[in-house]
Amino acid sequence: MVKIQTDRKLDVLPPCKSDKVFVGEEVIAIGHPYGYSYTITRGILSATGRNIGLPSGAEVTDVFQIDAAINPGNSGGPLMNINGELIGINFAVRDQAGGIAFTIPAKKVRELLVGLSN
C-alpha cells in the first residue's frame, strides 16, 4: 500500500462489493507491464475463494483467480468489472501455469484500509 498526500483531489474507482462478483464474469486489468504505460488486458473471473502459497511460505486466503494477462508491472493495478467498478487489486501470477493470476478482493482491501486508519 502507498499513502499519497496531495493538495488536489484524486479520482478513485467506485468499488464493487466482492459478494456481487460471479465466476465467468468478464474482467479488465490495468497496469504498466514491462514499462508499457496504461496497458489494459481482459479475461474472466475463473474462481473465488482460492488460497495460494507464497514463496516465503506464507499463505494468502480467499482471493480471486483470473485469466487476464498479469505481467510484471501489473501487480498492484486494479481489476475492474465491465462497469468500471473495482473488483480487486492484482498481486500474483502462477509462473508454472500460463494464464493464472490472482487478485485481492476489493472487500479485503477496504478492510485493510480501515484497519490502517484506526
In a domain, 113, yes or no: yes
Over residues 42-81, the pLDDT tens digits come to 999 999 999 998 889 999 899 999 998 887 777 788 999 9
Poorest-confidence range of 14-28, 61-75, 87-101?
Answer: 87-101
Looking up residue 94, the CATH number of its domain turns out to be 2.40.10.10
- Number of domains, the chain: 1
Q: How far apart are CA 8 and CA 41, in angstroms?
A: 29
Q: Which residues pair with 79 in a beta bridge?
A: 29, 88
Q: Which of 78, 88, 68 is nearest to 17 (CA)?
A: 88
Q: What is the total residue count of the chain?
A: 118
Tell me the residue range of the domain where 73 lies. 18-117
Tell whether 3 is covered by a domain: no
Question: Is the full-model pTM beyond 0.85?
Answer: no
Q: Position 68: which residue type? A: A
Please report whether residue 11 resides in a domain. Answer: no
pLDDT of residue 118: 61
Report the pLDDT averaged over residues 16-36.
86
